[in-house]
Structure formats: structure tokens, C-alpha cells
Amino acid sequence: AQKVTQAQTEISVVEKEDVTLDCVYETRDTTYYLFWYKQPPSGELVFLIRRNSFDEQNEISGRYSWNFQKSTSSFNFTITASQVVDSAVYFCASGTYKYIFGTGTRLKVLA
Amino acid sequence: DVKVTQSSRYLVKRTGEKVFLECVQDMDHENMFWYRQDPGLGLRLIYFSYDVKMKEKGDIPEGYSVSREKKERFSLILESASTNQTSMYLCASVQSRGNQPQHFGDGTRLSIL
């Protein structure tokens, strides 16, 4: 089955805390891609990152980092020193041109 | 930058009406998608199109149809709107099969009364 699971429905943290959003995927494909999107209160989905299934190198971009582990089928996303502007719904997705999305994690960062 | 434009941010219609949601992209993308987003369910694919006049059903096509007469435009049609179609509708496009990310419009929040 093709499936993306985001078990955390909602997370609340206080500003400057680190927070990790979990994503577990199931796929039949041998080559696939993993994505994270952010949906702020305004509603548009903003692309954050894409990883290839054959590249398990972790990535850091500013306060964001991603940990891809094929052995556990996980693609977790960490925000370091969270800010109020990080408050949004975050979606993990898997696929090639056609995606399966997780149900999203709502992150609330409190001042 | 890719621009995906949805014709309305908010729309209110009545049960039984025929409803058209329009989506236009300006980057000559081959693939276009319609999703609906509901709380706790994430994004679910309704239909997608990989070329002009070509379409495939997604996971929840019942009650919907689509039209793609021109490459840049992908329309979602609710033939006879029902209250359970009240939702946020998102359009997306992407260049081709491969590893590029889909680009999304701002969404249309549709209410069926």
C-alpha cells in the first residue's frame, strides 16, 4: 500500500524550542521522492524540501533540517529555535509526479 | 516563479447547482491536479490530467468531473453540488513525471448551502 503517516496531529511549543515533525511512508516504488510542504494560515501550500529515495544524506537549511532514514521509512523534519512565524500545518508527501499526502501536523509556536 | 491561479478564494453555492472551479498555470506544465482538503484527512486527489484532454481519476472522483481543453487551464466541475462537497479545493501543477515539486494555487474555500 502507498501511505504517508503523520502521527502527530497537533504540536504546541514555546518560542525558541526545537521541534521535530514525524513522517513515516509506505511505498511499492523503488525510486520515489519525499516532500515537505508548509501551509500557513493564509492557505497556500509552500514547498520546503524534496529528497530522492536513493539519497539518504541529511540536509540542513537555516533553522530547518531533515532526517531521511530508508531503514525505518521515515523522513522527519526538525525546526531549531522555533519562531511564531513557523506556526502552520506541515504536510509530508511521497511519490513522483503524483503524490500521497499525510494528514498534516498543526504546529503552534507560542510567544 | 511558477504561478498557479485559482479563480476564487471563497465561493458559496446552493445544493444542486453546477459549480465550476478554475485553475490556470503559467509555466507550460503538463500535469495538473485537483485536491480537496478536509480537517484530519489531509489532501486527497480528486482528478489529475497529464495532457490536454487527458485525465485520470484520483482517489475520490465521485461527484466530480474535470475539463482540460487548453494546457494552462484545468477546471473542476461539481455536476450537482451537495453539502458534503463543502471543502477547501487546491489546484497544483508540475512539469513532468520526475522529481520536481508540485506548485499549488492559493485554494478555493467552497461552501455548499
Is the per-residue pLDDT at A91 higher than 90? Answer: yes
Tell which of A45, A46, A89, A100 to mutate to test the B interface (max B CBs under 10 Å): A45
The C-alpha cell at A86 is: 513557523
Confidence at residue B112, expressed as pLDDT on a 0 to 100 scale? 97
> Is residue B98 very low, low, confident or very high in pLDDT (cuts 50, 70, 90)?
low
**Mean pLDDT over residues B27-56, rounded?**
93
* Chain B, window 54-113: residues with a beta carbon less than 8 angstroms from a chain A beta carbon: 88, 90, 92, 94, 96-107, 109
A39, A45, A44, A37: which is closest to A94 by C-alpha?
Answer: A37
- Chain B: closest CA distance from residue A18 (Å): 24
Average per-residue pLDDT for chain A: 92
Q: How many CB atoms lie within 10 A of CB B2?
A: 17
In this model, does residue B97 exceed pLDDT 80?
Answer: no
Q: Mapping DSSP to helix (H, G, I), strand (E, B) and coil, where does residue A4 land?
A: strand
Q: Which residue has the cell 480537517?
A: B39
CB-closest option in A9, A43, A50 to B107: A43
Q: How far is CA A1 from CA A100, B15, B44, in A?
A: 11, 35, 16
- The residue-averaged pLDDT of A89-104 equals 92
pLDDT above 70: residue B100: yes
Q: What is the pLDDT of residues A12-31, one digit of tens each?
A: 999 999 999 999 999 988 88
pLDDT in the model for residue A18: 97
pLDDT of residue B57: 96
Give residue-wise pLDDT tens across range A34-89: 999 999 998 889 999 888 888 877 788 899 999 999 999 999 999 999 999 999 99
Q: How many CB pairs under 8 A join A and B?
A: 52
The torsion angles phi and psi of B70, rounded to 5 degrees, stand at: -130, 150
The residues pairing with B75 across neighbouring beta strands, listed in sequence order, are B22, B67
Question: Searching chain B, which residue's CA lies closest to the CA of residue A42?
Answer: B106
Closest chain B C-alpha to A111 CA, distance in angstroms? 25
Answer for the pair B5, B23: CB distance below 8 angstroms, yes or no: yes
Question: How far away is chain B from the Cα of A48, in angstroms, using its nearest Cα?
Answer: 9
Residue A57: exposure state from Cβ atoms within 10 A (0-12, 13-18, ≥19): exposed
Among A102-106, B51-55, B80-84, the minimum mean pLDDT is found in B51-55
